[in-house]
Structure 1
Amino acid sequence: MLPNLDDIAPNMAGLTIFSILHAAPGFSQIPTQDESKLRTMFIAPFGRSCYAHVPVGICLGPEYFQTKMTECLKGREGCEAVMITQSSTKRH
């Protein structure tokens, strides 16, 4: 079961810096491998271009993204969001 505000609030006393890792735009954060860039080529009015990051719509994109997320969140089953908190910018 996910914690509610009453569970989380006491642990946040005195903290001033907060970051939330949002996974929705995750595809745009994964770089495309050099040998795969030509497979993402598209034609634009000013010439041909390739995606530098995994574009939405690539058939293996969701599987690759889920593999990376599983690696990042290993040992944290049921985790849907990550919030990082610290009392100073340096520690954050």
Structure 2
Amino acid sequence: MNMAERAGRLMEFRRIPVSSQGQVTLPKAIRERLGVTAGGTQRITIFVKSDGIIVIEPEPTVNELFGILKTTTPTSPANIRELRGAMVNERIQGRGYDTKEQD
């Protein structure tokens, strides 16, 4: 395992083989550090920055996202007729038609 100091943080460099199909296996230590379990349904996101640095992050689970959106006003139950009407109007507008009623 090679270690290098970059931007004030200690980083690990590992040589990971790439299969003939372009696949890589994240070593156990990296999966543990990311909190990703092998064989699970969890996914990771890979970003390639403009300077060539690759960032790997675990996607948040539904349980981790629960409750992050807060409303400032109380919400009322949706009216199904209003929702359907809005969806129809959106489709009509998407096809280039005007949804405003003619006088």
Q: Is the TM-score greater than 0.5? A: no
TM-score of the superposed pair, with normalisation by structure 2: 0.24
Using structure 1 for the length normalisation, give the TM-score: 0.26
Q: Quick check: which one's helix share is greater?
A: 1
Higher relative contact order (CA 8 A, sep 6+): 1
Larger Rg belongs to = 2
